[in-house]
Amino acid sequence: MSTVADAPLADAAEIRSALEYYAGRDWTDGLPVVPVTESYLAEFLATTSRDPDEVVFGVPHLNRQCTVRLAAINAVLAGCLPEYFPVVLAAWDAFADEPYPKKGIWQSTTGTAPLLVVNGPVRERIGLNSKGNVFGSGFRANATIGRAIRLTAINVFGLRPHQLDQATQGTLAKYSACIAENEEESPWEPLHVEHGLSPSDSAVTAMVVRSCMHIEARHTHLPEQLGLDLADSIRRTGALIHETSSALIVLGPEHARVFAANGWGKDDVRQFIFEHAVNSRSELAAVGKDAVSQHTRWRLPADHPDAVPDHASQSDDPDRVPALIAPGAVQVMVAGANNAGVSTIIEAFGPRDHAVAIARVGDLDD
């Protein structure tokens, strides 16, 4: 019987040479990648019945497309295990339903990036983190699934910084942003069930995001106080950049229980935040954002040549300008550890009214 000791030793110099070869061709995100071999790539392609040449996502203005095979190559580079690949494919399916990525939003100066939220049994099966340090390091599945999307953006679509990626400052999510929902400690139905799938389904929700902000509220058991904290964070003038802004609220389990214990469901949270995430016209005028551009709908001063009144001008109180266009522009989920009153506001890009881009994870569950 052969043993580990009998196996040939890897040549460290050859490994370094391979890593430098990939880096020298700009096939990385700045971190080392896993070299791709045909035999290892075949293990990824074996996890799906989809044709390797099937196009999963395209950016028409760049005339570039990502196939199943190209998605698999970048999943290998990212450090995914083969069993992660159906989740990567589901992420691309979800992004195909998002209106903005195919129009070039990932090239934006605003630094937008992809965010994935995973639900269902696949979370436990492949070791996705949904609890402590959910936005941080330490879990291979989270880190590499999100990274696979970013490496594909670089290697297939050419979205490299200082080139097609024009982000002014960018965001850490441009490395990787993949979290799972803490369904077990949520008092409500999980995100994928809310949007029509079965609890037994595994699914990926895809969003375009700009930034995130942690909300510290360890002191209150009153839903109104917590809701105002969340709404005030969303309405801040530095975030109110576009008429179609939206938000994902990632509630820690303790905060979710504050709402649920007082009889609030997700729709109650959405409605309260929509009604209170409001600025006065004078607050917006003070920072030069009291109107919108007729071309881009970005906020700008009322005396700007491109300025037109915003949708708030048609309301009963035109002096009150909502940060969100409708309650459905707020998505609510639960993630993180059950150890402190901490939640996160994620600033999303694009209009939403109870609609998300979501795709079921294939073959792995079939």
Reply yes or no on whether the pLDDT at 73 is more than 90: yes
| 233-292: pLDDT as tens digits | 999 988 867 777 899 999 999 999 999 999 999 999 999 999 999 999 999 999 999 999
Domain boundaries, the chain: 9-277+323-365
Reply yes or no on whether the pLDDT at 7 is more than 90: no
Average pLDDT over residues 291-320: 87
| Euclidean distance between CA atoms 286 and 40, whole angstroms | 58
Contacts with 339 (C-beta within 8 Å, 6 or more apart), sequence order: 132, 254
| 185-197: pLDDT as tens digits | 999 999 999 999 9
pLDDT band at 364 (very low <50, low <70, confident <90, very high): low
| Euclidean distance between CA atoms 243 and 343, whole angstroms | 25
| Euclidean distance between CA atoms 348 and 236, whole angstroms | 14
3-class state of residue 183 by DSSP? helix
* Residue spans of beta strands (DSSP E) within 190-269: 203-216, 246-251
> CA angle, corner 206, sides to 201 and 210, nearest 5?
150
Reply yes or no on whether the pLDDT at 365 is more than 80: no
Contacts with 113 (C-beta within 8 Å, 6 or more apart), sequence order: 106, 150, 170, 171, 173, 174, 177, 208, 209, 210
Reply yes or no on whether the pLDDT at 1 is more than 50: no
Contacts with 325 (C-beta within 8 Å, 6 or more apart), sequence order: 243, 244, 245, 246, 311, 351, 353
Kindly provide the b/e burial profile for residues 251-264, where b requires at least 16 CB atoms within 10 angstroms of the residue's own CB: bbbbbbbbbbeeeb
**pLDDT at residue 66 in the model:** 98
Full 3-state SS string of 133-149: CCCCCCCHHHHHHHHHH
> At residue 39, what is the residue type?
S
* Percent of the chain at pLDDT exceeding 70: 95
Kindly provide the b/e burial profile for residues 48-85, where b requires at least 16 CB atoms within 10 angstroms of the residue's own CB: bebeeeeebbbbeeeeeebbbbbbbbbbbbbbbbbbbb
**pLDDT at residue 84 in the model:** 98
**pLDDT at residue 32 in the model:** 96
What one-character DSSP code corresponds to residue 82? G
Structure tokens at 245: 């802004």
What one-character DSSP code corresponds to residue 13? H
Average pLDDT over residues 319-343: 93
Are 217 and 225 in contact by the 8 Å Cβ rule? The answer is yes
| 305-316: pLDDT as tens digits | 999 988 777 777
Average pLDDT over residues 21-35: 95
| Euclidean distance between CA atoms 324 and 236, whole angstroms | 12
**pLDDT at residue 358 in the model:** 95
Helices (H), 177-222: 191-194
CA proximity to 186, closest of 260, 262, 264: 260
Reply yes or no on whether the pLDDT at 47 is more than 60: yes
**pLDDT at residue 273 in the model:** 97
Reply yes or no on whether the pLDDT at 83 is more than 80: yes
Reply yes or no on whether the pLDDT at 6 is more than 70: no
- Tally of CB atoms within 10 A around 319: 14
Give the torsion sign (CA, 326, 231, 111, 114).
Answer: negative
pLDDT band at 8 (very low <50, low <70, confident <90, very high): low
pLDDT band at 352 (very low <50, low <70, confident <90, very high): low
CA dihedral (83, 85, 86, 91) in degrees, to 10, reads 140
pLDDT band at 59 (very low <50, low <70, confident <90, very high): very high
Are 249 and 345 in contact by the 8 Å Cβ rule? The answer is yes
> CA angle, corner 348, sides to 71 and 355, nearest 5?
80
**pLDDT at residue 318 in the model:** 83
Reply yes or no on whether the pLDDT at 85 is more than 90: yes
